Amino acid sequence: MTIGEFLVLYEQNHVVNLKSQRNLSRRLQRYVTPFAALALGDLTRMQIISWHQEIGRTRGHYAANQALSELHALYTKAQDWELYDGRNPADRIKKFPWHSRERFVQAHEMPVLLRALSEEKPHIETFFLCLLLTGCRVGELRAAQWKDFDLAQGLWHKPMTKNGTSHTIPLAEILIQRLQQLPRPTVWVLPSRPNGKNGGHAGQRCRTAVRWMWERVRRRAGLPDVHIHDLRRTAASWLAINGESLPVISQMLNHKSLACTAVYARLSVAPVRLALNDQATRMLGPVPVPVVSVSEQAQEWPG
């Protein structure tokens, strides 16, 4: 069996059952199809290493590591289905080192970001404020419908999220007011067109529409290194910095475990600085420590 023939079976009997089937199918077509003509047993480790390096060079380290994991999973499934009895050629291939992003909107950057957002149309401004104030994922908001919102109670019920469960989150009062002021020409809370023409949700007509809008906002704000997903990180980080507990942050983000949330507690030196300043005051009292001149230090500590 060739890799291309198995890929068809893999799509029909495995990928189709996954929540992320669209994205995974697209990545498989992009990265694995070049091997389609090879038999499952003919793909060598050196070919995979070269392939992994090339993806890392052209698409980035994260994409390369993801492609490698998916190729490994594909061969594992071929073994499980008894269609391949050799060694997994993607096994034990070293991935690129990867460090999770820690970027989020800092306190001094927030005013300029809000000013940049205020220059957008109301439905676009509200879209990004929702990301910022709820910590939701972009896909969740793009697919949100009015029936999912109970603005009288200030709640947003997400019927399905990335981790496979529903999630209900309370809304800040200012966000409730903004949502109440938006027109409702379609079932979508944030349609691709504010007048409802073409009827799709935000970004449906063009997958890059939302990111293109964010590119415009961050360029205007002078924050070129802030990615759209960093708004989710910003929501969590600001809660952590201001002393909210990890269970509260985890509930907002709909994480399955606190281990996924703990990263947000270390994204700013502000809480550490505050704690150390408080400790210095407790140890030394409110009176500043006298400054000792260099000459006095030399006399005190000869040599």
Q: What are the C-alpha distances in Å from 253 to residues 21, 266, 299?
A: 22, 16, 58
| Amino acid residing at 71 | L
Structure-block tokens of residue 77: 């499934």
Supply the pLDDT for residue 52.
96
* Order of strands across the sheet that contains 167-170: 149-150, 155-158, 167-170
Supply the pLDDT for residue 288.
55
Supply the pLDDT for residue 18.
82
Supply the pLDDT for residue 176.
92
Angle at 242 between CA 253 and CA 259, to 5 degrees: 40
Q: DSSP assignment of 62-93, as one string?
A: HHHHHHHHHHHHHHHHHHHTTS--S--TTTTP
Supply the pLDDT for residue 198.
47
Q: Are 127 and 217 in contact (CB under 8 A)?
A: no
pTM: 0.63
Supply the pLDDT for residue 156.
92
d(CA 134, CA 142): 14
Torsions phi, psi of 3, nearest 5?
-60, -40
Supply the pLDDT for residue 269.
55
Instruction: Give 211: exposed, middle or buried? Use CB within 10 Å, 0-12, 13-18, 19+.
Output: middle
User: 217: how many CB neighbours lie within 10 A of its CB?
Assistant: 19
Q: pLDDT digits over 224-264, tens only?
A: 999 999 999 898 888 888 777 778 888 888 877 766 666 66
Q: What are the C-alpha distances in Å from 250 to residues 123, 159, 160?
A: 28, 18, 17
- Map residue 249 onto helix, strand or coil: helix
Give the residue ranges of the chain where pLDDT is below 50: 196, 198-199, 202-207, 294, 297-298, 300-303
Question: H/E element holding 170?
Answer: strand 167-170
Supply the pLDDT for residue 236.
87
Spatial CB neighbours of 85, under 8 Å, sequence gap ≥ 6: 79
Supply the pLDDT for residue 282.
76
